[in-house]
């Protein structure tokens, strides 16, 4: 069984690479000449307009729609992995999958759109394999994912316009393998509590936590964002702080 290493950090420049897709402008329209429109000229014959190639550049530019602004989009993490069987591989924070997951989580928080983080969230198909409970799919949808959407809504107002991602601190020294039979599980996984998302708001460094990350086939996924347990239908933010805050503490499943 792999062993956890020291705390790991993923920086913003790597996570945010390729985060948007741009749509290009449409085509230009050739003007219709007097001959084509059937308008007679002064001599009673159809007047010939200038060829399309002679159209002034200003007119050509005006006939094209302006480019669309970039749209935020989620990045893939490990498509289809939830339908495969679990492995005991210890997750790395240096993989493209993890960098994309943190990109998607940050995008969800800054836009207030939880579904943008769906690739970063523990897959429903994997959860159905993990939990030895009745109707794990319903538990995933109506508890785990629902709580995540509430937590994203709670975190969104904290991150003002112009905030920039800096890094994610994952306290891998606190990672532990959760064995089958614990926490109503039918299969095991790696678990790490209290990762920290660090960002810059103006000149100030700030952060908030990720309550719980768990693994599937060697990749980390968010399973609890603001809190593991709560007493009502409300969102929470895990330990928001000025500065980087404090990862952890260890424990949990």
pLDDT at 58: 45
pLDDT at 72: 83
The answer, yes or no, to whether residue 42 has pLDDT greater than 80, is no
For 200, half-sphere exposure in the C-beta direction (CA atoms, 13 angstrom radius) is 7
pLDDT at 67: 72
The answer, yes or no, to whether residue 27 has pLDDT greater than 90, is no
Cα separation, 49 vs 38, in Å, equals 12
Cα separation, 3 vs 173, in Å, equals 9
pLDDT at 248: 96
pLDDT, mean of residues 122-150: 97
The answer, yes or no, to whether residue 208 has pLDDT greater than 50, is yes
The answer, yes or no, to whether residue 144 has pLDDT greater than 90, is yes
Q: Residue 113 — very low, low, confident or very high, per pLDDT cuts 50/70/90?
A: very high
DSSP 119: G
pLDDT at 83: 97
Cα separation, 179 vs 190, in Å, equals 9
Cα separation, 133 vs 185, in Å, equals 8
The answer, yes or no, to whether residue 25 has pLDDT greater than 70, is no
DSSP 74: -
The DSSP string of 172-238 is: GGG-EEEPTTGGGBSS-EEEEEEEEEEEEETTEEEEEEEEEEEEETTEEEEEESS-S--SSS----E
DSSP 20: E
Could you identify the residue written with the tokens 């948007």? 20
Sign of the CA dihedral 170, 220, 19, 241?
negative
pLDDT at 71: 78
The answer, yes or no, to whether residue 44 has pLDDT greater than 60, is no
Lowest-confidence pick of 34-48, 62-76, 147-161, 237-251: 34-48
The answer, yes or no, to whether residue 24 has pLDDT greater than 70, is no
Lowest-confidence pick of 44-53, 156-165, 198-207: 44-53
Cα separation, 211 vs 239, in Å, equals 9
The answer, yes or no, to whether residue 142 has pLDDT greater than 60, is yes
């Amino acid at each position: 069984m792999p062993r956890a290493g020291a705390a790991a950090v993923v920086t913003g420049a790597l996570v945010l690479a390729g985060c948007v897709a741009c749509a290009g402008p449409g085509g230009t329209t050739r003007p219709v000449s007097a001959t084509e429109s059937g308008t007679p000229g002064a001599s009673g014959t159809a007047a010939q307009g200038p060829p399309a190639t002679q159209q002034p550049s200003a007119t050509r530019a005006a006939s094209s729609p302006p480019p669309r602004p970039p749209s935020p989009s989620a990045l893939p993490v490990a498509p289809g992995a939830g339908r495969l069987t679990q492995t005991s591989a210890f997750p790395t924070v240096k993989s493209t999958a993890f960098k994309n997951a943190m990109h998607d989580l940050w995008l969800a928080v800054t836009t207030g759109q939880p579904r943008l983080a769906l690739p970063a969230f523990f897959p429903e198909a994997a959860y159905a394999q993990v939990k030895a409970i009745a109707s794990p799919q319903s538990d995933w949808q109506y508890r785990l994912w629902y709580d995540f959407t509430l937590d994203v809504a709670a975190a969104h107002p904290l991150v003002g316009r112009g905030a920039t991602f800096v890094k994610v601190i994952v306290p891998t020294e606190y990672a532990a393998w959760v064995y089958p039979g614990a926490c109503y599980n039918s299969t095991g996984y790696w678990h790490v509590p209290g990762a920290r998302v660090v960002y810059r708001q103006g000149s100030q460094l700030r952060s908030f936590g990720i309550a719980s990350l768990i693994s599937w086939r060697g990749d980390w996924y968010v399973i609890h964002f603001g809190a593991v347990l709560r007493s009502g239908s409300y969102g929470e933010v895990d330990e928001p702080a000025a500065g980087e805050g404090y990862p952890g503490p260890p424990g949990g499943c």
